[in-house]
A and B are shown apart, each in its own frame.
Chain A
Amino acid sequence: MIKMTSKQLQKKSIQYRKNILKYIFHANAGHTGGSLSCIDILNVLYNDVMNVSPENFKSPDRDRYIQSKGHSVEALFVVLADKGFFPESDLSTLCKYKSHYIGHPTRKVNGVEQNTGALGHGLPISVGTALAAKMDNKKFRVFTLLGDGELPEGSNWEAALTAAHYKLDNLCAIIDNNKLQITGPISEVCNTDPIDKKFESFGWAVRHVDGHNLDELKKTFSAMPFADGKPNLVIAHTVKGKGVSYMENVIKWHHGVPSEQQLEEAMSELDNAMVTIPDDF
């Protein structure tokens, strides 16, 4: 994989944000806030970290990405389209009758590893996948993205035990720690803090990262495994609705769809952000 420069990656992030908003607006449905909070993580994973592409997607040696927070599917779809898994124009069918581009990932869409959407499922499946790699002495790694709001699902903690028991240092769980869920702040709904100490006590190696700092994300993932024989946890501190000022940290944008005027405003803000990034040459 030819790696992108930091500036190229930054531009990708902005373009991805624009596409997320464009297709959510077109579909009149989508999980806007969470897609915007995790998009920088997906950008770095697909463009810098993971060995996965349309060409090797059938290979048993590819890296796996399993999106446990399936509702942020728009983020995944725009990245997969950009990587060439399917034509971007397919996304104009998002949430339409008979489209496979529905509100959660399904394997009917090229590039999607597992059907997700019910929370607390990605980690157990990822543990099984990472275990298969260990059994076969394969070098591929498994990345799974969890929402911070899905951590109360007990199956996560069952899987966290198994991951440590089998020393799955080829597994990386990333928490999109945007601190909000549909009802309100996670600290008020069902406090999950301290996430790091909980996972550490379960036998995981934990790193914190600014989930919108692409260089930091790259650096963090390149340090895997963080400790030999321990599963990796990246707590990515993010902002729900990141990149569109009126959406940032505002709960109604969890699955809010912008009006035409709001969309224009958001696009213009993102276009302005784009011009602040100088070209490499």
Chain B
Amino acid sequence: MGSEAVIEKGKAKANLDVFSSTLQELAKHDRNIIVVTSDSRGSGKLAPFGQKFPAQHVEVGIAEQNLVGVAAGLASCGKKVFAVSPACFLTARALEQIKNDVAYSNNPVNVIGISAGVSYGALGSTHHSLHDFAALRAINNIIVVAPADNFETEQAIKLAAQTDQPIYFRFGKRPMQNLKEDNNDVFEFGKGRIINEGSDIAIIATGETVSPALQAAKKLKEKNISACVVSMHTVKPLDTSLITELANRCKAILTIEEHSVYGGLGEACSSYLLQNKIYKPFRIMGIPDEYTVTGSQQEIFDHYGLNEKGVAEEVLKLLSK
């Protein structure tokens, strides 16, 4: 890897763009980096990758099951494979291939779910992935990662290229401002990243919901409430030692995710806390189990309170109990 920074300082890019540029950097020096797409090179921001490295790009057409199976075969021969498709199709239609051909057979594929959560907004439920954490958490031998910002994305992809283990990545589409001024954190799978120190409330968020959590923390500061904001980029394995530390330090815990409130980060945290006899006021924010409201990603976020105001209100409610 050269020393040139992939991310221009201060400029917010979609994590997917950073994923693509990081992968291009890696591919320059490693011909075993292979991207597999299912007519998804455009939405995956991978058209430049395909142009620069045609020999390292495999296109299978719109066929997600085949995408993952082919990726597993390539990985079994030592290729560092990134299988890229919208998260909604990849983790539903090809779930059996992820379970058997990747996780169970231990073929170290990087399964890349793009435009995840409600990124596709008004395209509706067919294009939303609000189940992927739940589905993949219940499958043995796959790391589940949702980078929050450009820094985490770049670090995670570089690390994935050196990791001989199945990993699922979940990326959204919107430009994400880096959450911290300095990017000196050591990024590790399974280690949450503290974005903002605080001791009244712990806000544990993942992916694109860390940003509204941080905004809420700034707003709460005006009311003298100090919020510790964590980017729990790795949903599995969960950083349980950090959760314990947060529970010891804070009066209450709030989790936020762009996922069903069932089976995701929140339930993972609550399960850990309860089973370890750590009892704190606790609430899961996410998409409720209902016919999801229609609108853009931001409108859906606003509708369900996944924004600065909604998060701040939930914190106040939790602390007032």
Contacts and interface: CB of A to CB of B under 8 A. Distances in A.
A114 B66 CA distance: 16
Contacts of B74: 128-129, 131-132
Interface secondary structure of B, over-half rule: helix
A69 B38 CA distance: 26
Contacts of A131: 58, 70, 73-74
B60 A158 contact: yes
Interface in A85-115: 106-107, 113-115
Interface stretch (A116-124, A191-199, A213-221, A255-263): A116-124
A54 interface: no
Nearest to A115: B105
Contact of B73 (A107, A120, A129): A129
Nearest to B61: A161
Contact of B77 (A60, A106, A115, A158): A60
Nearest to B109: A128
Interface in A142-166: 154-155, 158-159, 161-162, 166
A155 B60 CA distance: 12
B66 A132 contact: no
Contacts, number: 99
A73 interface: no
B78 interface: yes
Contact of A128 (B61, B69, B100): B69
Counting chain B CB atoms within 10 Å of each CB, which of A113, A114, A130, A133 scores highest? A114
Contact of B65 (A115, A154, A166): A154
A107 B74 CA distance: 16
B77 A129 contact: yes
A117 B96 CA distance: 11
Given A114-B76, A129-B74, A129-B77, A121 B69 contact: yes
Contact of A132 (B61, B65, B77): B77
Interface string B61-103: 1010110111111111111000000000000000011001100
A274 interface: no
A14 to B, nearest CB: 33
6 contacts: A124-B65, A125-B73, A127-B70, A129-B74, A159-B66, A162-B63
Interface of A: 60, 106-107, 113-118, 120-121, 123-133, 135-136, 154-155, 158-159, 161-162, 166
